[in-house]
């Protein structure tokens, strides 16, 4: 099986596991982007702890779920966003104001759309979660 978008498959795996009420899932393959997004989801209390487990062939993540995710996914294509245009995408990807996060890749690293607005940066949309 070839995988074109590891991030999209990791996020859909998380969403599906949440729907059926699983507590712990494994995510493979591991990338820095996936770890960054999981860290942001953790800071916003959507997922629990995760740890990287070495298996000699690219490692995998063991993630504990807390049952707070309604929907999450990657955003394709990765739309470029100016600092004052994020509202349009908030309306498109999130159900209501101040509910959920959009992960944005900015020149200062990955951050949520709230941090992006606070820092006055633009960037590319990567994923959403609520």
CATH of residue 98's domain is: 3.30.1490.10
- Do 55 and 92 fall into the same domain? no
What is the per-residue pLDDT for 58?
Answer: 87
Host domain of residue 76: 72-129
Q: Is residue 106 part of a domain?
A: yes
- Do 40 and 59 fall into the same domain? yes
Single out the residue in 50, 65, 80 at which a domain terminates.
65
Whether the model clears a pTM of 0.85, i.e. scores above it, the answer is yes
What is the per-residue pLDDT for 2?
Answer: 58
Single out the residue in 38, 65, 92 at which a domain terminates.
65
Q: Is residue 82 part of a domain?
A: yes
What is the per-residue pLDDT for 118?
Answer: 95
Contact 61, 49 (CB under 8 A): no
Task: Report the chain (130 residues): mean pLDDT per 10 consecutive residues.
Answer: 85 97 96 96 97 93 96 96 94 94 97 96 97
What is the per-residue pLDDT for 128?
Answer: 97
Q: Which residues make Cβ contacts (< 8 Å) with residue 119, sequence separation at least 6?
A: 106, 108, 111
- Do 11 and 61 fall into the same domain? yes
Q: Is residue 1 part of a domain?
A: no
């Amino acid at each position: 099986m070839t995988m074109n978008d590891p991030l999209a498959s990791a996020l859909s795996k998380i969403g599906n596991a949440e729907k059926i009420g699983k507590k712990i899932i494994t995510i493979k393959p591991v990338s820095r982007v996936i770890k960054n997004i999981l860290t942001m989801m953790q800071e916003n209390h959507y997922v629990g702890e995760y740890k990287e487990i070495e298996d000699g062939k690219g490692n995998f993540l063991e993630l504990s779920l807390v049952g707070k995710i309604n929907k999450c996914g990657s955003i394709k294509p990765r739309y470029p966003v100016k600092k004052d245009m994020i509202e349009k995408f908030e309306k498109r990807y999130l159900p209501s104001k101040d509910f959920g996060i959009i992960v944005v890749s900015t020149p200062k690293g990955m951050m949520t759309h709230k941090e992006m607005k606070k820092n006055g940066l633009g960037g590319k949309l990567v994923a959403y979660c609520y």
